[in-house]
Structure formats: C-alpha cells, structure tokens
Amino acid sequence: MSESERKAVLSVERGLHMLTYRPRPEGSTRLGPPPVAEVVATTGTIVMIAAPGSSDGALPSPGSALVLRAETAGTIEVTLRAAVPGGSLAADFELKTVGTPRVVETASHHRAPPAGVCDFTVTAHVSLRGDLTAARGDWICGPGTPGRIEGLDIQALGGDLPLEIQVASGGRLSGWSPWLPAGTYAGSRGKSSPLVGVRLRLTPQAAPDLALRAEANFLGAPVVTRIGRDIELTGSSLLDPLVGFRLDITTQSADSVEVQTTPLPAPIAPIAPMQPSRLRVFRRATADAQAA
C-alpha cells in the first residue's frame, strides 16, 4: 500500500444501513483537500446503492453516502486515496442502521415464554455498528463478536412486560440512570459512553414464580450470569465496558441464586512471606592466614 492510500474494514450486521462520509469540522482546511473514498470489496451478501449519477461504491467527497442492504452479516473494505500527491488521508465515516431485520425464530425460541409474561426483543445501540436487535434469550454482540454497547431497549411483543431497567454509563455520562420501564431506551447514542453496568428488576405485578436470567460480557472479563427478580451486572470495575448482553425470563426455582457461568481462574495459594535477604561478604584470605 502506498503512502497516498489507506484501507479500513468495517463490520456490517444483517439489515439496512447508511454509510456516510462525514463532513470535516470547521478549521480543517489546513489539511488540504479531503481524500476520495471507495468501497472496493465486500464479504457476505451486501448490496450497495449509490446516489443517482454516482458509481457503485464511490464516496467522492465528504457528505457522500451509500445505502447498504445486508442479507447476511459481512464486512466492507473502504479505500482512501489522497486527492493530490502527498495529500491528507484523514477521513471520518458513520455507519448507521436505518432498518433492522425481522427477528428470525430459531430452535431456541420454539419454547414459549412462561405464563404471565409476553415475548420480547432486546435492541442495543453498538458503537460503530448502530442498532442491533436480538430475540429473547439471544446474544447481542457477546464473546464471539464483542462490541461496545451504549444503550438498551427492551420491547414487549404483543403484551405487557413487567420489567424495569437501570443502566450506568462510562465516560462523561458516568452514573446510574433512573429506573425506566420496558419499552424505554436506556443509555446514550454516539457519545462514546458505553454502558458499564445494568440493573434489571421485575415489577410487583409480575407473577411470583418468574425470574430474570441475564448474561453480560464485560471487556476483558468472563461472562457473568445473574438469576433473580432484582439483579445487577457489572464488570470487575466500573470502567469495563459492556460488550455483550442477553436476557430471558424464566420460572424461578427454589434454589435460584446469583451464578457465574464462566469460572474464574482458581485462586492462587498464598505465598509464605520471604525471609529478609542477607548479603554475605566474602573476603580473600591474607597470605598469613592461608599459611596458618
């Protein structure tokens, strides 16, 4: 790759997306003319739709945009070329989801929800990916495809969902939000403030035998599972961003307790304290001493 060219690969989830070559901030004219961008390769089943008069995949200047229709998840490879010899390669792109696919029922969802609660979906706003939606009990991001989650929206499907959510955001928006009912977005969008904690609880209207089952993957930590009517999920510190989440509602057994599905490493046995080190000085014996 030459010094006048740069490449970037972006992940694209199944759905309808808008890839926008974002305008430069004011005062950036000193960088020279902006580079020319083009989507040169894709993986998965992704169809690109350009503006009238533009060639497929072309993003000639800031403000240009492409519509991406992804039948399956994949990637796009964007190439930046300097507009003039030795020109700038600085550019900013936004990949925004404008249409989420219908949730496809899988074998895991043939099981109906417990009596007294309706089915639901979970939508997460993920940094650099946009809004992603998962069915009840399915992962959003997670161990296989982690992504920084900035907000969550739990939507009931055809009924009432006796559930409330509270989230903690990192960065400039640090702190816990108020309790919010299901169907209300909790968190932020596009502010680089990933979630660092999630609290969930069933309302008093929920049947007494119901329990929440939530799993969370925080960056650099094992997957944590919590079961109960009032649960909290956080990383080892309130600085670890949430990079995977899934939620289900089950029937609470008599021994439901908080559990951790991925075992932590075995604790290291305490090491006996070391004795203070001593420095021994050996002196060369004198000739007289040797003779003796």
> Which residues are 134's β-sheet partners?
122
Looking at residue 88, its pLDDT comes to 82
Residues 6 or more apart whose CB falls under 8 angstroms from that of 221 comprise 235, 236, 240
Q: How confident is the model at residue 283 (pLDDT cuts 50, 70, 90)?
A: very low
Predicted local confidence at residue 56, as pLDDT: 82
Q: What is the reported pLDDT for 216?
A: 96
How many alpha carbons fall within 13 Å on the CB side of residue 124?
Answer: 29
Taking residues 180-197, what's their average pLDDT?
A: 90
- Residue 264 · residue 222 · CB < 8 Å: yes
Does 219 score more than 50 pLDDT?
Answer: yes
Count Cα atoms within 13 angstroms, Cβ side, for 2: 9
Q: What percentage of the chain carries pLDDT values higher than 70?
A: 78
More confident residue, 257 or 63: 63
Beta partners for 46?
Answer: 70
Q: What is the mean pLDDT of residues 255-272?
A: 41
For residue 289, which phi and psi values (nearest 5 degrees)? -65, -35
Lowest mean pLDDT among 25-34, 54-63, 112-121, 232-241: 25-34
Q: Tell me which of 143 and 108 has the higher pLDDT.
A: 143
**Helix, coil or strand: residue 161:** coil
More confident residue, 45 or 255: 45
Neighbours of 255 (CB within 10 A): 6
Spell out the residues 6+ positions from residue 248 whose beta carbon is closer than 8 angstroms to its own.
136, 137, 212, 213, 214
80, 91 contact by CB (below 8 A): yes
> Has residue 116 got a pLDDT over 90?
no
The residue ranking higher by pLDDT, 119 or 29, is 119
What would the mean pLDDT of 198-223 be, rounded to a whole number? Answer: 93
Of 2-16, 25-39, 251-265, the poorest mean pLDDT is in: 251-265
Average pLDDT over residues 97-119: 65
pLDDT value at residue 15 = 84
* Residue-averaged pLDDT of the chain: 80
For the segment 231-248, what is each residue's pLDDT rounded down to a tens digit? 999 998 878 999 999 999
CA distance 166 to 185: 10
CA angle 201, 126, 170 (to 5 degrees): 65
Sheet holding 210-218, edge to edge: 140-141, 242-251, 210-218, 224-228
101 has a pLDDT exceeding 70: no
- Per-residue pLDDT, averaged over 97-125, amounts to 71
The full set of domain ranges for the chain reads 5-99, 107-251
pLDDT value for 28: 59
